[in-house]
Structure 1
Amino acid sequence: MSEGAERLLAGLTCRIATRDAQRKWAIGNWFSDPLMRPGWLGDQGEDRYKKQLQGSGHQWTFRWNDFPYVEDVVASLTAPLIGVSGAIARDADDHFEVRLGGATLRLDGQRAPMQRESEVAP
């Protein structure tokens, strides 16, 4: 495993219970939404526990099918102050990539539903 990949993967575990002070994202220990956003993920039975990490060297992929939303994970890894220093994200439409140096962590998780205008703060 490359050093950059090691830092990105360590970033996932170090941020397992984090949430943004402005309540824009939260990780929730990978099973719940501490922000209790309405209309977001509900109970999906045993399938919610499916998570898979695979890769080697500079290229790693993490897949999961329940909370947290992929945007929340990306934010936790790239946010000012709490993010992994130097990490940048790219939205590739069907997944996100977080890069650090030559390392890439592909994140395949559920996307957050689009917010309705009535849910957006003024």
Structure 2
Amino acid sequence: MSEDAERLLAGLTCRIAARDPEGGWAIGNWFSDPLMRPGWLADQGEDRYEKQLQGAGHQWTFRWNGFPFVEDVAASLTAPPIGVSGAIARDAGDHFEVRLGSATLRLDGRRAPMHQEPEVTP
């Protein structure tokens, strides 16, 4: 495991209960949403606890199918002042990538529900 990858992976565990003071994201110990956003843990099946980390060297992938939302994990690793210094996140469409130096951590998880404005009728 490269040093940069080790810092990113350590960042996952160090931020297990992290929460944005502005209310933009939260990790919730990997099982609940302290922000109580609509749609969190909509699937109450046992499979929501499945998590898998694979990789070597500079390339790692973390997959999970429950909470937290993938955007929250990326933010916890990159948002100032709590983020890993130098880490940047990129939305790659079907996943997020967090990069630090030569290391890439691919995050494959559930997306946060889209915020929808209420319909206004004339």
TM-score range, shorter chain: over 0.9
Output the TM-score relative to the length of structure 1.
Answer: 0.93
2:94 pairs with 1:94: yes
Work out the CA distance in 2 between the residues paired with 1:93 and 1:74. Answer: 13
Q: How does 1:1-122 map to 2 (within 5 A)?
A: 1-118=1-118
Deviation at 1:113, TM superposition (A): 1.0
Are the equivalent residues in 2 in contact too, given 1:44–1:66 (CA < 8 A)?
no
- How many aligned residue pairs are there? 118
Are the equivalent residues in 1 in contact too, given 2:38–2:113 (CA < 8 A)?
no
User: How big is the alpha-carbon RMSD for the aligned residues of Structure 1 and Structure 2?
Assistant: 0.9
> Once structures 1 and 2 are overlaid, which stretch shifts more, 39-48 or 9-18?
39-48
Q: Give the aligned residue type for 1:54.
A: Q
Output the TM-score relative to the length of structure 2.
Answer: 0.93
Q: Which has the larger radius of gyration?
A: 2
SS in structure 2 of the partner of residue 67 of structure 1: coil
Deviation at 1:40, TM superposition (A): 2.7
Q: Which aligned segments of 4 or more residues in structure 1 are displaced greater than 3 angstroms?
A: none
Q: Give the aligned residue type for 1:60.
A: W
Deviation at 1:104, TM superposition (A): 0.2
* Runs (5+) with no aligned partner, structure 1: none
